[in-house]
Structure 1
């Protein structure tokens, strides 16, 4: 795989190799944390996906942009990713969903700019537990999505539907 920046032994899955074998003292723990935001999260699907997709868009991680979280057989609508890009003006979002996208963007691009006005809006929409959970999720997506993108792993783990549709 010419787009990857890590040498992966022949026959090894790049994602499993990097996240599980290459750095055995860190990779499996990082993987467990990354998975825990999906397995143990309590945020609503739309807020969760709004923040997750905004980070994916900013990171540029192909896999993360293709992925759609499913909960109880439900996924967000096909047009959701476009609405996330247009979070400031879309009519498809309620206040919590819009605020989740805004928080994700500001967390990634200007965390020092999270001012009192922002936190007043955030605290009016989310309780402390939800704020902490959303912050941990955003931190995970920012870190691990960028790791995948920077090392070129997102090319190796693109969803099959994307590979077929794009000719990759």
Structure 2
């Protein structure tokens, strides 16, 4: 696949700076970088964004994530490689990415599981990371950014 155009965030430098600032803020919260990348990868898998899935996989490898865990992200419910906090975060990523799939995307049971593992600041970081991931996925899908390209 060939890109239709350069990444829009790169064409609008002020937008790129703001996205970078938001990502810096998200990563400043006391939550494992691996967890943030896991939710990014899961959202990207759901949305079929090869660019983001590839990028996130490379980031997870750089963070020391095992191959077993990396390869199992799409099947996290059945795989033994995730702790309860990561499972809650991955479930939040799925629910937030698939907002239209049910009336109450993040129901009370999921919210309870999230709050058992994360405080409000961490939930804010997770939610923003999932939102930014979905932004990246949509921008990359529209412009057909191929996996393996770097920015």
Please say whether Structure 1 and Structure 2 have the same fold, judged by a TM-score greater than 0.5. yes
Q: List aligned pairs for 1:1-168, cutoff 5 A.
A: 3-6=2-5, 14-15=6-7, 18-21=8-11, 23-24=12-13, 27-33=15-21, 35-36=23-24, 40-67=28-55, 68-69=58-59, 74-110=63-99, 112-153=104-145, 155=146, 158=148
Could you tell me which residue of structure 2 aligns to residue 9 of structure 1? Answer: none
Distance 1:66 1:90 in 2: 21
Secondary structure of 1:134's counterpart equals helix
CA distance in 2, matches of 1:83, 1:138: 19
Could you say what secondary structure the match of 2:133 adopts? helix
The alpha-carbon deviation at position 88 of structure 1 amounts to 1.2
The TM-score normalised by the length of structure 1 is 0.72
Change (3 A) 1:114 1:31: closer
Q: Which runs of 5+ in 2 are unaligned?
A: none
TM-score, with normalisation over the residues of structure 2?
Answer: 0.79
Task: Give the structure with the larger helix fraction.
Answer: 2
> Greater relative contact order: 1 or 2 (C-alpha under 8 angstroms, separation 6 or more)?
2
Runs of 5+ unmatched residues, structure 1: 7-13, 161-168
Q: Which runs of 4+ in 1 moved over 6 A?
A: none
Number of aligned positions between the proteins: 145
CA distance in 1, matches of 2:29, 2:49: 22
